[in-house]
Amino acid sequence: MDSFFLLMQGFETALSWSNLLYCFIGVMLGMVIGVLPGLGPVSGTALLIPITFGMEPVSAIIMLSGIFYGAMYGGTITSVLVNVPGEAASVITCIDGYEMTKKGRAGAALGVSAIGSFIGGIVAVLALTFVGPALSNFALKFGPPEFFAIMLLGMLMIVALMGKSLVRGLIAAVIGLLLAMVGQDMVTGEFRYTFGSIELMDGIDFAVMAMGLFGISEILLNAENPAKVTKPPKVKGLLPNRGEWGPTLKSVGRGTGIGMLLGVIPGANSIIASTFSYILEKKVAKDPSRFGKGAIEGVAGPETANNAHSGAALIPLFSLGLPSSPTMAVILGAFVMHGLTPGPALFTKNPDFVWGLIASMFIGNLLLLIMNMPLVGMWAKIALIPYKLLFPIILMVILVGTYSLNSSLWDVVLMLFFGIIGYIMKKLDIPMAAMIVTFILGSQLETSMLQSLSISTDGFLIFFTQPISAIIMSVALIIFAVSIYSGVKNKRGNLANDVEM
């Protein structure tokens, strides 16, 4: 019941005028980013980090999280109306969503998506409210070896689950770790890989890297094959037929379960959640042949799953400090920038912050439901903003945003460099997701290893003599072995969606 009272206090924080405004701005921007094809939640959150620079930490994170879960709602609209997914997790919604639109049922498709997203989102935030503190309480007992093991597990999961080729995932992960080495060593104070330049002495700024890798590279990729958005049809009626309520709500329930389960697993991104949900809906349906021809369950399930996923993804971030996806890594970067360390101590050290943020997510989901039900037609029009007008403005925001971080043109140059690297990585199918997550965890991984060794009496064996860390390490090794096996046997590819979510 503790959580409940703390949550009520959180609402006090979240309901202050300024935080309410930032929450509103956040979910609104999230919707816009979701609706616009060619701008996803990762690049969206990354390019808005500098804007939050001067804000209160709690307001900044409220806004950034709002962008993240708001984008999940927005992505649906263009998928359903014009068959262009606004963000990657909504790709699967195109299949049945667009078919429903062709039959004149766009309203029902959007209606169930909004309701499903709301239910999935709220249940996931409820899980965060009650599971988060419990998990972080448990993790408070963790010492350096356990944290080392958890980070290693998280990194290996991401490598194992992302991309077509295991070796490319590993390459990305190792490069990320090496980039984290640049700058002053935390323990001895020695400068590593700085090549005598003053700028590199502080290491590579996370925001600079994220804006380049996700912002610039995405613009370059879109320049190749711009998404063509046709005029969306008019939306009439937002509720499903009377007979459809039962099956719809059941698929919403299943979608919530799948989304939450996959949300806490590092590397299982929201597109995996929505794909799984679609497959499941097709399996349990009495008449699977309806799928692909406008089955309402094929819209409700996946849309719920990706929203439940985005809420649940915050659980490992808040309680363990483990980002499970690039967007979570960007939000973790924002935490660090505002002087907060996610991890077990967050709930006890910064309760105002955590509970304010969690409360804001209840409010944000409610705002999104309102925005999506009666106002859905208005959002569809945003997708019509021509890209040729939009992309120079986005570039401008990235450029100025990067500069404003440290008033340094060097950062801008570095950011552009990462932009081109990101583009090349995308072309070579080397998963950026693995690189950004290992980059942000790199120095912690090193520190926790050194701390473990300093308390250890028998060197590296400490990771296997402590029970909890031994279990986590074994799981990590098993996952690694399985992914090598599947790589050798060429069984990868079923989940081979390196979608940077």
Partner 1 sequence: MMSRYGSGVWAGAVIFLLALFLFVLSFQYNYSGAVGPGPGFFPTWLSGILMVLSIWYIYESMKGKNTSSESWPTGRSLKHILFIIISLVLFVILFALFGFLVASFVFLVVLFYKEYKWYTTLLMSAGMTVLIYWLFNTVLKAYLPIGGILF
Binding interface with partner 1 (CB under 8 A): 50-51, 53-54, 164-165, 167-168, 170-171, 174-175, 177-178, 181, 185, 187-188, 190, 192-193, 216, 219-220, 223-225, 388-389, 391-393, 395-397, 399-400, 403-404, 407, 409, 412-413, 416, 419-420, 423-424, 426-430, 446, 449-450, 453-454, 459, 490, 492
Measure the CA angle with vertex 279, ends 371 and 309; round to 5°.
Answer: 45
Is 326 or 419 the residue whose CB approaches partner 1 more closely? 419
Is 165 or 341 the residue whose CB approaches partner 1 more closely? 165
SS3 at position 231: coil
Is 34 or 442 the residue whose CB approaches partner 1 more closely? 442
The least distance separating partner 1 from the CB of residue 216, rounded to whole angstroms, comes to 8
Q: What is the DSSP letter of 244?
A: G
The least distance separating partner 1 from the CB of residue 371, rounded to whole angstroms, comes to 24
User: Within a 13 Å sphere around the CA of 455, how many CA atoms are in the beta-carbon half?
Assistant: 13
Q: How far from 253 is each of 27, 119, 128, 277, 449, CA to CA, in Å?
A: 24, 8, 17, 10, 42
Q: How far from 32 is each of 71, 213, 309, 383, CA to CA, in Å?
A: 7, 21, 20, 8
Is 176 or 321 the residue whose CB approaches partner 1 more closely? 176
The least distance separating partner 1 from the CB of residue 429, rounded to whole angstroms, comes to 3
The answer to whether residues 170 and 429 touch, using CB atoms and an 8 Å cutoff, is: no
Tokens 């990585």 map to which residue?
Answer: 425
Is 261 or 413 the residue whose CB approaches partner 1 more closely? 413
The least distance separating partner 1 from the CB of residue 453, rounded to whole angstroms, comes to 5
The answer to whether residues 156 and 479 touch, using CB atoms and an 8 Å cutoff, is: yes
Is 345 or 396 the residue whose CB approaches partner 1 more closely? 396
Is 164 or 250 the residue whose CB approaches partner 1 more closely? 164
Is 52 or 325 the residue whose CB approaches partner 1 more closely? 52
d(C-alpha 441, C-alpha 281), whole Å? 37
The answer to whether residues 387 and 222 touch, using CB atoms and an 8 Å cutoff, is: yes
d(C-alpha 251, C-alpha 235), whole Å? 23
Cβ contacts of residue 73 below 8 Å, gap of 6+?
Answer: 27, 30, 31, 34, 113, 114, 117, 307, 368, 371, 372
Q: What is the DSSP letter of 202?
A: G
d(C-alpha 135, C-alpha 137), whole Å? 5
User: Within a 13 Å sphere around the CA of 200, how many CA atoms are in the beta-carbon half?
Assistant: 15
The answer to whether residues 139 and 342 touch, using CB atoms and an 8 Å cutoff, is: no
The least distance separating partner 1 from the CB of residue 322, rounded to whole angstroms, comes to 20
The least distance separating partner 1 from the CB of residue 223, rounded to whole angstroms, comes to 5
The least distance separating partner 1 from the CB of residue 56, rounded to whole angstroms, comes to 14
Is 395 or 468 the residue whose CB approaches partner 1 more closely? 395
Burial of residue 307 (number of CB atoms within 10 Å: 0-12, 13-18, 19+): buried
The least distance separating partner 1 from the CB of residue 441, rounded to whole angstroms, comes to 13
The least distance separating partner 1 from the CB of residue 496, rounded to whole angstroms, comes to 9
